[in-house]
């Protein structure tokens, strides 16, 4: 399935913003070790670039969760597909997301990590869609790359039918062609 893609956020703008986030996180966690938790699969690109720009000792782990099941609409129930490898007890944790829509997944992880004994838990996302936030979810986004409109975005780890994750920019799917 081919798609027509319009650039929404350029590679240069993304790189500049990640540098700013790295400086801010470095300042906020000065003198501490930091543990990043990447929410798979989409946040991998963002976390790797962000980690390179944080000038502190950084460790990381990966977690895969789903609230979609087999459909395209969230079920509201978050399931752990792949859990963390290392314990969080006493660690300063930042949850790294590619995009926040309803906020259910991030809210679930925030509470889970607190119960697992993390010293602190903060959130960082490349993209935030506050217009999609579930009104019952109270979520603080501590570090945000960009706030975007309610459009279907791809690139930088975000996909369309498992494709386009590797685009160097954030794009919007404007049209699809199912005849390939």
Q: Looking at the annotation, which residues are catalytic?
A: 101
DSSP for the chain? -EEEEEEEE-HHHHHHHHHHHHHHHHHHTTTS-EEEEEEETTTHHHHHHHHHT--S-EEEEEEEEES-TTSSS--S--EEEE--SS--TT-EEEEEEEEESSSHHHHHHHHHHHHTT-SEEEEEEEEE-GGG--TT-----SEEEEE--S--EEBTTB-BTTB-TT-SSEEEEEEEE---
Residue closest to 146 by CA, chosen among 58, 29, 51, 20 = 20
């Amino acid at each position: 399935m081919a798609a027509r893609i319009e650039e929404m956020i350029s590679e240069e703008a993304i790189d500049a913003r990640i540098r700013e986030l790295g400086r801010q996180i470095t300042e906020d966690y000065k003198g501490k070790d930091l543990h990043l938790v990447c929410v798979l699969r989409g946040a991998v690109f963002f976390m790797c670039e962000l980690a390179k720009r944080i000038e502190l000792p950084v460790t990381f782990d990966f977690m895969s969760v789903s609230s979609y099941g087999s459909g395209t609409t969230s079920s509201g129930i978050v399931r752990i597909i792949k859990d963390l490898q290392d314990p969080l007890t006493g660690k300063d944790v930042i949850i790294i997301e590619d995009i926040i829509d309803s906020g259910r997944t991030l809210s679930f992880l925030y509470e889970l990590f607190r119960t697992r004994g993390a010293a602190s838990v903060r959130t960082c996302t490349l993209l935030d869609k506050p217009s999609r936030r579930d009104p019952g979810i109270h979520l603080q986004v501590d570090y945000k790359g960009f706030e975007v409109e309610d459009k279907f975005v791809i690139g930088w780890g975000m996909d369309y039918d498992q494709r386009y994750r590797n685009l160097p920019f954030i794009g919007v799917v404007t049209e699809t062609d199912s005849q390939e």
